[in-house]
Amino acid sequence: MKIKEDIEEIIQKYDCGEYYALERNDDNEIDFNMEDELKKYCEDAGIDYEISFEDGFSSHGYDNNFLAIAWIEDGKIQLKTILFENY
């Protein structure tokens, strides 16, 4: 399986240049949510995983949140953390 590459491909769909967005629209204006899309991928592929969405730093005019996904691949735990920034 190429789990890491598939997860990276999903995450890249939400790349906004300097940060990642939690939500996106496709060419047909259908809404997607990164957390939901990652969950669906893992569940459809039968992958044991854990996803956590956490509030990060918050101040006047600047907030950020984090999404972390962990999974087992080739007998090893893998972890990817994504930073979302809101100005």
Give the global pTM: 0.84
- The per-residue pLDDT for 32 is 94
Predicted confidence at residue 55, as pLDDT, reads: 77
pLDDT (0 to 100) of residue 4: 94
Q: Where are the alpha helices (DSSP H) in the chain?
A: 3-12, 34-45
Q: For the chain, which ranges sit under pLDDT 50?
A: 87
The pLDDT value given to residue 61: 66
| Residues near 15 by beta carbon (within 8 Å), at least 6 away in sequence | none
Q: What is the pLDDT of residue 54?
A: 83
